[in-house]
Structures are given as C-alpha cells and as structure tokens.
Amino acid sequence: MRLPEFLAKRRDALDHVARHSPARLAVGVFASVIAIVTLLLWQPIATTSGERPGFVDALFTATSAVCVTGLVTVDTATYWSTYGQFVIMVGIKIGGLGVMTLASILGLAVSRRIGLTQRLLTASETKTNKLGEVGSLIRAVIIASVAVEVTLALILFPRFLTLGVPALASAWEAVFLAVSIFNNAGFVVLPEGMAPYVGDWWMCLPLIIGTAIGAVGFPVILNVWTRRRSLRRVTLHTKLTLTTYAALFVGGTIAIGAFEWTNERTLGALPLADRVLATMVAGITPRSSGFSTVDVGAMHESTWFLTDALMFVGGGSASTAGGIKVTTLAVLLLAIVAEARGDRDVEVFRRRIDPAVIRVAIAVSFIGATIVGVSTLILLNLTNLRLDVILFEVISAFATCGLSTGITPLLPESGKVLLVVLMFFGRIGTMTLAAALALRNRRRVIRLPEERPIIG
C-alpha cells in the first residue's frame, strides 16, 4: 500500500467517525491531546527551576491550554521554561484548531441529518468532493487561523522591538501572544503580564480585534469571507452572532466603565485615553479571551457580577470562545419577546426560527446554569472563600474565559481538579451536547391526552 493510499484510508476512517459519532470523536480527541500535553509539561525541563512540576499543576495547565481557557495555578512567564511555554503554545494552537474544526464538523453533521440543502461550506461545495467535506473544513480552518495569527504577530513584533526587546525574544513573544489572542487563550509569557500595556493602543487594539475575530466563530468568518461582495446576504447565524456580540461588547464596556471609572485601584488612577482603552479591553475579554490589563481582583463587586453574566454567555458558536454562546442568548431572548407578543413563530431578520432550535437553546443554557450552580456549591464547601470570588472562578472555567480574581492558585487540589473538569466540560460538553440534542429526534405513534399545569 502506497503512502497516499494509506493516508486516504486514514482520512476516510476519520470521516466515518466524524459522520457517525461526532460527540465521541470530540471527547476522545480532546482527552488524548490533554493527556499528551500533561505528560510533556510534567517534566523537569518544563520548569525554570529544573524541578518536576506537581502533577495537578501540569494537568491544570495542559487542560487550560488545550481548552483555551487561560486560568493558571502557576505563573506562565516565570514558572515554565521556554520549552514549557512552547508546549503550552502548541497546546493552545491544537486546542483552538480542534474546537473550531470539531464544532464545524458537528454543525455539518446536524445540517446533514436534518437534511437541509444549505450547508456550512456552500461556497466551496463543488471542489470539496474529492477531499471530502471534513478534510476541506480542516484545511479552511487552518488557513484562516494561521492567516490571522501571522497578521497579528507581524503587527505585534515591531512593537516589542520598539520597546527595546531583543529581536529573537520579540519574535517569540509576538508569536505566542498572536496565537494566544486569536485562540482566545488568555495565556501571556510577558514577565509582568498585560498590566504594563494598559495604555498601549498598538498592543491593545490588535488584542481587541484579534480576540473578536477568534470569538465570533469559524462559520461566521467563512460566511463573511465568501459573501464579502454582498454582505447583506450573510446567513441568519452570522447576523445573529455579530449583532449580539456587538451589543454585548458595547453594553458590557459602558457598564464596566461606569462601575470602575472612579475605582482608584483599577481605572480611576489612569489618564483618560488609557481609561477608555482599558475599559474596552475589560468589555471584550469576558467573551472570552480572558486577558486583563487592569487588576480583576481589585474590581468592584458589581463589576465581578456583571462579568460573571458576560462570561457565562461567552462568544460565537464553533469559535475559540466558550460560554453558552451568543446565539443561544439571542434565540432565548427572541423566544421570550415572541411569547410576550403572543406570536406563534419566533422571527428575526425576516426569518423564522425552528422551535427545535429554541428547545436546544433552553437545554444548553439551563444545563449550563445547573453545572455552574452545582460546581459553585461544591467549591463553597471545599473552601472558606466567599460566593463572589468562587462564582467568578467557576464561571470563568466553565466558559473557558480565564479571567481571575486570583484565587485559583490558592485552591486545594480537589478544587483545582474540579476546575479542570469544568474547563473540559465547558469546552467539549456544551458543543457536543447541543449537537447531540439537535441530532436526536424520536417520534412516538401514541400521543397522550393533554393537560395544562398552572405556571408562575
């Protein structure tokens, strides 16, 4: 058997699993990658001290990297060696690619099963026949992500140079940051984190824009790209994602700005221009890149609570962002507006939304809220910490956001393991759950008599 033939067989096998049990594929791939990254990090050469890291720290960092979360139990810049940081970056890259391709494959599976003629890759349908849809998808995802990452790195590299960083170090920091930004990972290898760049527009604007591109999701990027000459004709998914994302960014930024404007420990001490920039960063990072240029731990209780809500919603579907996703929120809100108006159909942008989609949105958000609630309850019992900081860290892990009030390193091992489980479920569980629900559809012949309980 020649090599191309061998590869073709492997590709067909992957295609088969992807078609028939996409959820199992997602869990299997992610668990394997996390296991490998954990082993690679659990080595003496991975730390600057040359000592073998604790297993839980290695597992936590690997999960946080592959699930593009950004929560850390040890400081990325000082604890891990360059080898360790390189492993983390590769973990982020594979994790980000994995999320985007798997979510897109799940989306394909759903649309195929439901029998819609309109597919995710409508534009490139004809020429994908040879490679198979899945192979074509993966290629498109890789091209798009590398293109954005290279662009970001090319913008950031000269900035580090002008700050007096040596050329090689500048290149490394620019590449790491570019990968971390596009994949919404929130990891930083800069010695003092992002704090010194709180007023640095050259650094923070690419951060804001790169984060947003990564967080709207691959289907939106592809759809906008293929429809770039006739932007009015983008899909309902694209319209819903972009409008909800923009509304959350604007609303979140204004509210966080209002809450923190006079807080001397965060925005209050900054000049006006820096304050505006820092507010925008604080407004976009909950959805869900998790970078912070001001000290989250010093923010007001109300800012934490608002950020909780923003993180829980998260970013776009099939993106590197987490949370229940902006379309889920949009569909829920539209359903409630329709209910309040007494309409039979849920309508938006001159389109009707299938009731089955609304049921999935309800299940995803309700199950997400339940997981957050139960995890919070467990962590409150495992520690003596208060609700405000526990809830923040739990939602940050579940929504793979990575913002932190600073308690993660202080948690007991059991608490850290709980966050590992939360990051994994938040990353893999939400999207596979939604796909699994959308794929199931049992029909019963016998219908029971109807009866109405009283509600409210």
**Residues 415-444 interacting with a second copy (rule: CB under 8 A):** 430-431, 433-435, 437-438, 440-444
Q: What span, in angstroms and rounded, lies between the C-alpha atoms of 193 and 201?
A: 16
Using CB under 8 A as the binding rule, the residues of this chain from 91 to 110 that contact a second copy are: 103, 107, 110
CB of 302 to a second copy, least distance (A): 4
Nearest to a second copy of 284, 437 (CB atom)? 437
Sign of CA dihedral 426, 428, 431, 434: negative
Distance in Å, CB of 119 to a second copy, minimum: 12
Footprint of a second copy on residues 241-270 (CB under 8 A)? 241, 259
CA 84 from centre of chain: 22
Q: Which stretch binds a second copy (CB under 8 A): 49-57, 128-136, 222-230, 345-353?
A: 345-353
Count the alpha carbons within 13 Å of 359 in the hemisphere toward its beta carbon. Answer: 10
User: Rounded to an integer, what distance in angstroms lies between the CA atom of residue 195 and that of residue 294?
Assistant: 6
Q: Which of 111, 128, 136, 151 binds a second copy (CB under 8 A)?
A: 111
Determine the interface stretch with a second copy among 8-16, 78-86, 324-332, 395-403 (rule: CB under 8 A): 324-332
Please check whether residue 152 is in contact with residue 178, taking contact to mean a CB–CB distance below 8 angstroms.
Answer: yes
Phi, then psi, of 362 in degrees rounded to 5: -65, -45
Residue from 91, 98, 186, 286 touching K ion (CB under 5 A): that is: 186
* # of chain residues touching K ion (CB under 5 A): 5
Stretch 4-43 residues interacting with a second copy (CB under 8 A)? none
CA nearest neighbour of 300 among 262, 269, 272 = 262
Closest distance between K ion and the C-beta of residue 416, in Å? 17
Kindly give the residue spans of alpha helices, DSSP state H, lying in 132-200: 133-162, 167-182
DSSP state of 448: P
Site size toward a second copy (CB under 8 A) is: 88
Could you tell me if 400 and 427 are in contact, meaning their C-beta atoms sit under 8 angstroms apart? yes
Q: Which stretch binds a second copy (CB under 8 A): 69-77, 181-189, 205-213, 363-371?
A: 363-371
Q: What is the largest CA-CA distance in the chain?
A: 76
User: Which x/- pattern, by CB under 5 A, does the window 33-72 give for K ion?
Assistant: -------------------------------------x--
Residue at token pair 């950004």: 70
- Among the listed ranges 68-76, 195-203, 222-230, 330-338, the one in contact with a second copy (CB under 8 A) is 330-338
What is the Cα–Cα distance from 123 to 111, expressed in whole angstroms? 15
CB of 411 to a second copy, least distance (A): 15
DSSP string over 289-314: T---SS-GGGS-HHHHHHHHHHHHH-
Q: Please list every residue from 276 through 305 that binds K ion, using CB under 5 A.
A: 290
Instruction: Establish if 214 lies at the interface with K ion (CB under 5 A).
Output: no
For K ion, the binding residues in 365-404 under the rule CB under 5 A are: 402
